[in-house]
Amino acid sequence: MSSNGKSKKRCVVLLSGGLDSATVLYFAKRNGFSPVCLIFDYGQKHRREIESAKSLARAAGCPYKLVKISLPWQGSSLLDRKIKVPAVSTGISKGSGRIPSTYVPARNTIFLSFAVSFAEAILARAIFIGANAVDYSNYPDCRPEFYRAFEKVIARGTKAGVEKRKIRVLTPLINLTKARIIKLGVRLGVPYELTWSCYKGQSKPCGKCESCFYRAKGFRQAAIADPALRAR
């Protein structure tokens, strides 16, 4: 691809199929970017979120790349079928500092590394990720300081960085509550009925895992009915 002016607005969006990444995709579009979505099949127990991510990319009119990787060491209840996904009563650890079993070792570091490689290859100048440090599960790779540090890695460890073609890691949702994210998404026209947040790949959300808890809390506080529940 050429390095004309349009490449400055090209971006990579990490799209998981969940509420936050869907909002980030539409946020990027509204702000004049031309997104290419990166979707990961990393051995998660179910494929519901992958299919949701594909549907969201198509609905937004954006191309996507599906990347299949293997994490054979597992180390997470999202990967290891022998480890039960915790219910909200035991999974929520806000304030305790405890990291729950749903944490996938270095997942965002791995995903961002792929995203940086992709961004360099297509001459994109930005990577969007729907990280959130307010309504979240104490994951260390969801904190603002992690993303600031990763930008330094890009600057020092890539051809783009050496040539002063800065690739930014943009986290527009990092300091927003789920309710504020949802209200933003509604204004942006995000089709939340296509999203999937539940850690379990059943016919409908379990309503018991952490992800379901934070999603329900967000819609409740935003005083908006979750369209994904009506759609199923």
Contact 102, 77 (CB under 8 A): yes
Collapsing DSSP to helix, strand or coil, 38 comes out as: strand
Q: Using 50, 70 and 90 to split pLDDT, how confident is the model at 89? A: low
Q: Which of 2-6, 114-118, 200-204, 213-217 shows the lowest per-residue confidence on average (mean pLDDT)?
A: 2-6
Q: Which of 16, 12, 26, 31 is nearest to 126 (CA)?
A: 12
Most confident by average pLDDT, 132-136, 146-150, 197-201: 146-150
Q: In angstroms, rounded to a whole number, what is the distance separating the alpha carbons of residues 106 and 116? A: 15
The answer, yes or no, to whether residue 93 has pLDDT greater than 80, is no
The answer, yes or no, to whether residue 198 has pLDDT greater than 60, is yes
Show the domain range for 152.
Answer: 5-231
Residues, the chain, total? 232
Instruction: Please state the domain count of the chain.
Output: 1
Q: State the amino acid at position 126 in one-letter form.
A: A
Q: Which of 1, 14, 16 is nearest to 127 (CA)?
A: 14
| Pairing, β 168-170 against β 126-128 | parallel
The answer, yes or no, to whether residue 90 has pLDDT greater than 50, is no
Verdict on whether the full-model pTM lies above 0.75: yes
Q: State the amino acid at position 59 in one-letter form.
A: A
Q: In angstroms, rounded to a whole number, what is the distance separating the alpha carbons of residues 21 and 56? A: 10
CATH number of the domain enclosing 39: 3.40.50.620
pLDDT score, position 185: 98
The answer, yes or no, to whether residue 110 has pLDDT greater than 70, is yes
pLDDT score, position 59: 98
Q: Using 50, 70 and 90 to split pLDDT, how confident is the model at 231? A: low
Q: Which of 176, 193, 198, 204 is nearest to 228 (CA)?
A: 193
